[in-house]
Amino acid sequence: MIASYIDHTLLAPDASARAIETLCEEAKTYHFATVCVAPYRVRQAAQALAGSGVGVTTVVGFPHGANGGPMKAAEASWALAQGATEIDMVQNIGAVKDGAWDMVAKEIRQVRAAIGDVTLKVILETALLTPTEIVNACKLAQEVGADFVKTSTGFAGAGATVANVKLMRDTVGPHFGVKAAGGIRDFATARAMLDAGANRLGVSAGVAIARAENAESK
């Protein structure tokens, strides 16, 4: 079932407590992998999902990745204390563009040290990177202890593409995590991302996608 691959996402800055409540109820109904919410909403989501088997993902250094590694590590640590079960951190995109790979690696290591063995996804923001930068960022995230590479925040004007997901999967091999996020609004696109190599999907249209799969299977 496609639902098991979905991080049911609501990161809009104006998302209300009621909207988060609805998100969590939907996640329980459709058995999504996690909900993905802003740090401020983690405690509410964790309480709403307690005992359900649905995890709570939150974002760190979001959406531009421009704050320092110690701040990202502190943010991640605080999120875990609120009940987060997975962390999606935005890599230092400016450092990538500078070719400052040591800085990028240092920040990922700092977040990893802060969260222990909790699942860590590194958001590359592929729309802002060249193919070579995507490959190098994937290799680096893998080398320094992340669990996933993720295409996008959804806030950079463009999201996941099949081509970039395939490039990421080809780079990291068959056993590392690849999360496609941004612009995945229907079942056909979600299926295409999985076929390209994604094994997690960040979507705000999770209910529509799950319903479409259910309708197709009848």
Q: Given pLDDT bands bounded at 50, 70 and 90, which one contains residue 6? A: very high
pTM assigned to the model: 0.96
Which one of 7, 72, 147, 179 is the catalytic residue? 179
Beta bridge partner(s), residue 159: none
pLDDT at 140 over 90: yes
Average pLDDT over residues 172-183: 97
CATH number of the domain enclosing 148:
3.20.20.70
For 31-75, how does the pLDDT look when each residue is reduced to its tens digit (9 = 90+)?
999 999 999 999 999 999 999 999 999 999 999 999 999 999 999
- CA 67 to CA 71: how far, in whole Å? 6
For 184-206, how does the pLDDT look when each residue is reduced to its tens digit (9 = 90+)?
999 999 999 999 999 999 999 99
The range of the structural domain enclosing residue 213 comes to 2-217
Which one of 7, 72, 88, 121 is the catalytic residue? 88
Q: Is 28 a catalytic residue?
A: no
Query: Exposed, middle or buried, 86 (CB in 10 Å: 0-12/13-18/19+)?
Result: buried
Q: Is 170 a catalytic residue?
A: no
Q: How many domains does the chain have?
A: 1
- CA 142 to CA 137: how far, in whole Å? 9
Q: Is 166 a catalytic residue?
A: no
